[in-house]
A and B are shown apart, each in its own frame.
Chain A
Amino acid sequence: MIEKLKFFLGVTRNNLWQFRTRNLFSVTIICLSFLTVGIFLSLVNNLRATARGLAANMSIVFYLDRDLAPEAVEAIRQEISRPAFVEQVGLVSPEQALERFRTNFPDLADVVAGLKGNPFPPSLELRVNARASASQEVAAFVEGLKKRPGVTDVLFNRDWVEKMQGFSRLAGAVGAFLGGILILTSFFIISNVVKLNVFARKNEIEILRMVGGTNLFIRIPFWLEGITLGLLGSLLSLALLFVVIRLFPVYLGASLGALQELLRFRYPDPGQVLALLGGGAATGFIGSATSVSKFLKV
């Protein structure tokens, strides 16, 4: 078995070397296709991570009536603590709110000093489960509480999370579309390169048939050739992706400000690396298998 595998690998190596120019061409195309997929993947990774971060830090603030009795505040607190997605509820008194304002906006100290009273109402700050933050359930819950007596206003900034998730979905779709087209192109290129290799080795195939070579024996080197081309292409694309991820921020500099954070690429995780390599091998294998079965009637 090992002897046979060694033999097939040897044949594959020789064949790849024999037609190195056209094989190099197909490796380049596969590499560019998978690089495109990889770039979108790392962009989506970043957008998802940003959306997750925003969702994890997202809070909902319920501003309460100033004259509300402590029992009524407690009743509202009890009510908003009930849903399963609520992780934490905290009461912020007007004094605490004023203090927080002073700390967060030291430049406005003069304004605060000029105030005759405390303009901040008491509020209940609620932290929800990151996964549920953008759900309709939370939105409906907030809408319901807006009309509750004692609640004067609600601050709920879920727009950013939704935008981030939308961006990530859009980038994923664009990546899948462009990558899909390019991978399909690579598939046809591999298929045609293998077809050319089959034609170029017609004489050899004829000899193999003549001496009693089985279909499998004749086909295996072509399959291995396709897999190797696919693997080499995707491996090269990963190497280039890592270079792009390292060099892109240097190229951008600080010119884009806040947008730069969104355009930051994140390294693909090990599962994604394996998927890209597996995708390359699969593209190569399918490309060569279809070509071989179509043009190698044995």
Chain B
Amino acid sequence: MIELFHIWKQYQKPYWALSDVSLQINDGSFYFITGPSGSGKTTLLKTIFREILPTEGQILINGVNILKVPDHRIYTLRRSMGIVFQDFRLMFHKTVFDNVAVPLQVLGVGRKEIRRRVFATLQKVNLHQKMWELPGRLSYGEQQRVAIARAIVNNPEIILADEPTGNLDPELAFEIVSLFKQINKQGATVIIGSHDRELIRHFGDNILFLQKGKIVGKEAHA
């Protein structure tokens, strides 16, 4: 479970990127965080991922206060999460296989096991036939699927996606969110930051509306 208590974040005075955000996300949920540009979606996701620290407030993940985890132990938290960005953040000089294998290499998984798990994950995202291609030769939709494969290859409990469909046409965007939905059905908590109303309307079980860093609305359809 992810619990946020009175989160405030200020990058520059007098503006608040997040203002008193409190939230509880149950295990296995599928969440959309939406709002206009600059509403605080990315800041909220980065705070959960502990890429940035809030100015005030507490964040508990499975009861652990992640703000008290020392910097040199942050990797333990990151290993339990998968993250997907709008700009994919792939290593373009490495093959699809190598890109997806990175989280397993970090964990020290053996070569045979890496091969097995990467292949199985690429099958899930339907990219197993392009395993040895360089990402630069793939379409945007395929590149984003590589990023998703990388995020799920070590079966994380939580998947965070920041505007994962921002660079994609509506058809591909639909395909990508369907993929997230499938992953969620297998048990992972998925939190997507997006401003694509069409997608949210179609897939949104839980929707959190942000504006100027404040929660201005919540919807739950599940």
Contact = CB atoms under 8 A, between A and B. Distances in A.
Interface of A: 3-4, 7, 18, 203-204, 206-215, 217
Nearest to A7: B105
A203 B89 CA distance: 7
A206 B89 CA distance: 9
Contacts of A18: 93
B150 interface: yes
A255 to B, nearest CB: 55
B110 A210 contact: no
A224 to B, nearest CB: 15
Shortest Cβ-Cβ A-B pairs, 4 listed: A212-B79, A212-B78, A211-B103, A212-B75
A182 to B, nearest CB: 33
Given A3-B111, A4-B108, A207-B102, A214 B75 contact: yes
Contacts of A214: 75, 106
Contact of B102 (A3, A203, A211, A215): A211
B108 A210 contact: no
Given A207-B102, A208-B106, A213 B75 contact: yes
Interface in B84-129: 89-91, 93, 102-103, 105-108, 110-111
A285 to B, nearest CB: 22
Contacts of A211: 78-79, 102-103, 106, 150, 154
Interface in B31-67: none
Interface of B is mostly: helix
A136 B217 CA distance: 96
B106 A213 contact: yes
A51 to B, nearest CB: 55
B83 interface: yes
Contact of A212 (B72, B76, B90, B91): B76
Contact of A207 (B89, B93, B107): B89
Nearest to B91: A204
Given A3-B108, A212-B75, 16 more contacts: A3-B111, A206-B89, A207-B89, A207-B90, A207-B91, A208-B106, A210-B78, A210-B89, A211-B102, A211-B103, A211-B154, A212-B76, A212-B103, A212-B107, A213-B75, A214-B106
Contacts of B108: 3-4
Nearest to B110: A3
Interface of B: 72, 75-79, 83, 89-91, 93, 102-103, 105-108, 110-111, 150, 154
Contacts of B83: 210
A190 B108 CA distance: 29
Contacts of A212: 75-79, 103, 106-107
Contacts of A206: 89
21 contacts: A3-B110, A3-B111, A7-B105, A203-B89, A204-B91, A207-B90, A208-B102, A208-B106, A209-B78, A210-B78, A210-B83, A211-B79, A211-B103, A211-B106, A212-B78, A212-B79, A212-B103, A212-B107, A213-B75, A213-B106, A215-B72
Given A210-B83, A211-B106, A215-B72, A203 B91 contact: yes
- Identify the interface centre among B75, B77, B79, B111: most chain A CB within 10 Å of its CB: B75
Contacts of B103: 211-212
A58 B91 CA distance: 71
Nearest to B109: A3
Contacts of A3: 108, 110-111
B146 to A, nearest CB: 12
A141 to B, nearest CB: 67
B147 to A, nearest CB: 10
Nearest to B104: A211
A204 B108 CA distance: 18
A212 B76 CA distance: 7
B117 to A, nearest CB: 14
A249 to B, nearest CB: 49
Contacts of A203: 89, 91
A260 to B, nearest CB: 54
Contacts of B154: 211
A146 to B, nearest CB: 74
A213 B101 CA distance: 13
A211 to B, nearest CB: 4
Nearest to B80: A212
A249 B150 CA distance: 62
Contacts of B111: 3
Contacts of B110: 3
Contacts of A213: 75, 106
A208 B107 CA distance: 11
Contacts of A208: 102, 106
Nearest to A211: B103
